[in-house]
Amino acid sequence: MSYPVNCDYTMLMASLPRHKNNLFDEEQVPVSRIQLNKRLSFLSLEDTADLLKIEELLHWSHMKKDIDPAFVTKTINSIASINNQFIKDIVIWRLELRIILAALRMRHQGLQKAPDNKILGFDYWQNAITHYWHHPDFGLSKRLPWLAEANALLTTNKSLELQKLLFGVVWDHYHRQNFGHYFNFEAVIIYVLRWDIINQWSSCDQTAATQHFNSLVDAELQKLDLC
């Protein structure tokens, strides 16, 4: 099924504040979720169902670190029901990213060799992960230049820095995919997914700032022997 440009998509996209090119220039979401949902209510029932399906797969808050059989079954069924190849490719790209990160975590936790089977049945990176399990980057740095840094951050337990790196990787991918899609359903999907990244990063950043502030206050109180 294709999603041609039409007046409904044009009006919807024109009503939404634009995202900035750089994720970390975004201090907060450009529109509240309530207001975003009001605009999304103009989508057809079919489009709304497709959007919900994609959000259930890709929203950061829905993602668990572990990939279990129930998740695999649900994911494969959801992907099979997506008819738009552009959207399907975005979903698969994000899930492939999850597979690589899951492999990094399993190795970090002490697994001595890669799992024998493809985790989701379509893992593009499975051969490299299997044959280069003990390489920090699975031998993929030329194709995934961020992977070595992600591994270094994981092994040194720098979780916030790793999260920031991953947010940036996904944001940049969506930015590239957005070219040529400005007033169609694909543009709506990318907008919502990028909105989710801003929302999640803002939450992480605020939490980290609060923790940093509290640690500074504690340090100063200790100097004054007040705690």
Q: What is the pLDDT of residue 120?
A: 52
Kindly report the pTM of this predicted structure: 0.81
**Structural domain total, the chain:** 1
Q: What is the pLDDT of residue 77?
A: 81
194 domain-assigned = yes
Per-residue pLDDT of 174-206, as tens digits, reads 999 988 888 899 999 999 999 999 998 888 755
Per-residue pLDDT of 32-89, as tens digits, reads 999 999 999 989 888 898 888 888 888 765 555 556 667 767 777 888 888 788 888 8
Number of neighbouring beta carbons within 10 Å of residue 38: 12
1 domain-assigned = no
**Nearest-CA neighbor of 43 among 10, 17, 79?**
10
Domain with 206 in it: 7-16+23-223
Phi (first) and psi of residue 56, to 5 degrees: -65, -30
CA–CA distance, 29 with 36 (Å, rounded to integer): 10
Per-residue pLDDT of 118-171, as tens digits, reads 655 556 788 888 889 999 999 999 999 999 999 999 999 998 899 899 999 999
Number of neighbouring beta carbons within 10 Å of residue 43: 17
- State whether the Cα torsion 35-36-38-42 is positive or negative: positive
120 domain-assigned = yes
205 domain-assigned = yes
Q: What is the pLDDT of residue 31?
A: 93
162 domain-assigned = yes
Alpha-carbon 134 to chain mean position: 26
- Asked if residue 209 has pLDDT above 80, the reply is no
2 domain-assigned = no
Treating both helix axes as pointing N-terminal to C-terminal, what angle do 185-223 and 45-58 enclose, rounded to 10 degrees?
Answer: 40
